[in-house]
Every structure is written in C-alpha cells, then in structure tokens.
Structure 1
Amino acid sequence: MQINLTGLGKRYNYEWIFRNLTYTFESGTAYAVLGHNGSGKSTLLTVVAGHNLASEGELTYSFGGKAIALDAAYRHLSLTAPYLELVEEFTLLEMLNFHSRFKPLRHGLSALQLVDRMGLQKSKHKYVKDFSSGMKQRLKLGLAIYSNSSMLLLDEPTTNLDQEGVAWYQEHVSQNRQDRLIIVGSNIQHEYSFCDQQLRISDYHTTPGK
C-alpha cells in the first residue's frame, strides 16, 4: 500500500488547517503525525482515510503497483478515533459479527478469538452501551488492529485507557504491524513509540508565498 500526498491542503472557511503537504506513506512503515491538540492531526487522518475532502492538491492510493480509486480506498483501511461511534445496541459478540461482515478479521480469527485477544471474555454478552469508556476504546482498537486491512489509522489511540490498557495497545499494535502502513495521530509519546518516521503537522501551517 502506498499513499502519495502532493501539495495537499485543507481549509475550513478562510482558515487553512494545513497546506502544501507533499509526503509519501508506504507499507511496512509506521508513521507518527505529531502536533498539539487542535493542530490538524485528526483532519489530516480523515483526509487520508477519504472521510474528508482536501481543499487543494492531490491524494492518490496504490496497492501492488496498481492505482486504487479514491472511493474504493476504504476497503483497504481501518480507522479508529475518539469521535467514531460504536453500535451500542449490540452486545460485544453481535458487534464483532456485524463488523466482520464488512471487514473480515486478520489471521482467520473468529469473533470469540478476538474477544479473548481483547481481554473482554466476561463481557461477550454485555451490551456495548454498558461498557466503560476504557472498554469501548479497547473494542475500537481491537476492531481496527485485527481487521484484515493493509492500512491502519490510529487517532489518539489510548484515549480513555488506563495503564493496563496502554500496555495492551502497545503489545497488539506491535504484533500486527508487519507489512502494514500505520499512521498514528498523537501528541503522547507512548502512543507512537514504535513508529519509524515522524511528520509534524505544524511544519505545514504556514501559507506558501504567492
């Protein structure tokens, strides 16, 4: 998987969030997009995921040397972020079975096996609406990390996790990074300590001269 950004920019009304961003993301590498809260990290990840349109520039995807249409990129990626909602009317097992209808799990895992890997065995028949915020975040991460996708986008991945949850995240993302393109949006070192390269979004805040 490869993503090429060429002169990419995003603005809301008259305010540029980032501009003149040229960068290449490639499979087998983990990238950290760094910046303070409100700096544009999440906006960049939503643009890369195809959930948000760029205001200028070009965004292209390719897989195995073949171009991927922008409206088909979602088939190759998994995204987790604090603003993404779970279907809270489902039990945990129902949620996993529903999700895997659209995104099969890696390594041929079953829903029950993923429950075990998330450490949520006692809650498999519990409604998601009754989960704690930490359990919901672990579920979001489990769905993203263990989906059979070549690109993994993680926005503020340890939000609402305690120390044990952070350790779980670090272990499982490290175990599932091989041959994947991973992008982490963060300003907390333990979220991106495994990343190979860093992109500071503040480097793209200045409007280029005309």
Structure 2
Amino acid sequence: MKPGESVTKIHLTLAGVGKRFGRHWILQDINEEFTGGDLIGIKGRNGSGKSTLLRILCGQLTPSRGSLSVEINGKGISTNELYQYVSWAAPYLEIVEELTISEFLAFHFKLKALLPGLTLSEVPAQLGLDHVRKRKLRDCSSGMQQRVLLGSALYADTPLLLLDEPTITLDEEAISWFHQQLRRFRGNRLVFVASNEAGDLQDCQRVLSLNSGI
C-alpha cells in the first residue's frame, strides 16, 4: 500500500443541494458526484459558501434543500456517521494551546488512526517541527500552528480530507512543504481544497466555482 492510501473507499453525491441562512441563499442547486482519488478545488468570493459547502460535505451542516448521499465501501451510511471518516484542517478550528506539539499530536491520533506506514514519533519531523516538538502551541507562530493542524488532517487514515484555506498563514517555504505533503499523502482519498489562492488549487483535477458572496 502506498503512503496516504486507505482501504476505505468513499463516494459522495450532492443532489439539488442548497443552504439558506435566514432569507439569504448561500448555496443553490448543487448537483455533483465525487469519489475516492478525486482532488477537488472550491473557489469563490468571500461569503460565497466555500466553508459552508465543506461543512455540508462532512455532515456538520444539513442542507436547506436537496440531499447529501454517502457510500463507504459501497454501503450507504447516514451523515451522522460521517465524522468517523473525515479529517479537516482550517485556520478557524480551535487548537489546544496548553499542549505541546507532541502532546497535541498524541491526543489527536488517539481519535484518528495514522495512515499506514507512519508512526507517531516521526510525525513532528514530517511536519518540519521536530526541533520544537516539546514547545507549547501557545508559544508557536501561527504558521507553525497551521502546520500542526494540516499534519493532523493529512496524516489521518480517513477517506475524506477537507482543507479550508490551507496556506493562509504559511510562508513560501511552508507552502512548498504543504504541496509536497499533499501530493505524497493524499493517496486514494477524496480531497477538497477551498481557497481563492490559485497556488492552493494547482493540483486539483477540477474546481467548483461558487458565484454568490459579498
């Protein structure tokens, strides 16, 4: 098995999906199918619903109209079960700043198994943070914290990987690191990258453009 490959196969179908907050429709009439191995970009102006769509795809939000259907290894599952199969990185996700990098990773990978071929002890080095593995996250830069969040998603053995604005706090060197890691560890997973940075979407096989927004 190659790095990043999971034995779990996933297939998602969006049928007429729309999402409304109050009287304002953020998403309307989305009809798409995705399967393991796809690398999909999502772009759109601020407020166009990029993060909202990611939250629907992982079952965190329920569509106001239409439906999300999910198959795991050919068997339909409810969206309430989908969280088990998802890893997610976004700059707005909370991180426990009282933990060291090593402690955070140990805690996280008790909840989500590591990809085959990876061990917990080597993850800080994979992140390029082995020299600060005992540093508390509160004492880390925003870019270092983002590397930890990205690694917790990239290295988890989940068939669905969601990356929202993955390079927003990264410098040029760290952006290069991110793309190398994504190419190495995406494997046969279904990956979504939501961003308006063209570089973030450079490896995507197709890009969904969301047209609403502020």
Corresponding position: 1:121 with 2:130: yes
The residue number in structure 1 matching 2:27 is 18
The residue number in structure 2 matching 1:194 is 203
Corresponding position: 1:93 with 2:102: yes
Query: Which deviates more from structure 2 when the two are superposed, residues 132-141 or residues 29-38?
Result: 29-38
Shift of 1:53: 1.8
Shift of 1:54: 1.3
The residue number in structure 2 matching 1:179 is 188
One-letter amino acid of the structure 2 residue matched with residue 117 of structure 1? Q
One-letter amino acid of the structure 2 residue matched with residue 129 of structure 1? R
Corresponding position: 1:68 with 2:81: no
Structure 2 distance, partners of 1:9, 1:153, is 19
The residue number in structure 1 matching 2:48 is 39
Shift of 1:64: 1.5
Post-superposition CA distance 1:20-74 (Å, at most 9, x none) = 1111111111000111222111111111112222111101110121112211111
Pick the aligned partner of 2:115 from 88, 103, 106: 106
Structure 2 distance, partners of 1:139, 1:33, is 23
Corresponding position: 1:2 with 2:25: no
| Contact 2:45 2:210 survives alignment (8 Å) | no
One-letter amino acid of the structure 2 residue matched with residue 75 of structure 1? Q
Shift of 1:10: 0.5
One-letter amino acid of the structure 1 residue matched with residue 167 of structure 2? T
The residue number in structure 2 matching 1:81 is 90
The residue number in structure 2 matching 1:160 is 169
One-letter amino acid of the structure 2 residue matched with residue 93 of structure 1? S
Unpaired segments of 5 or more residues in structure 2? 1-9
| Contact 2:43 2:195 survives alignment (8 Å) | yes
Residue 78 of structure 1: SS of its match in structure 2?
strand
Shift of 1:111: 2.1
Residue 106 of structure 1: SS of its match in structure 2?
coil
TM-score normalised by length of structure 2: 0.92
Corresponding position: 1:133 with 2:145: no
Report the RMSD for the aligned CA atoms in angstroms: 1.2
TM-score normalised by length of structure 1: 0.94
* Runs (4+) off by over 4 Å: none
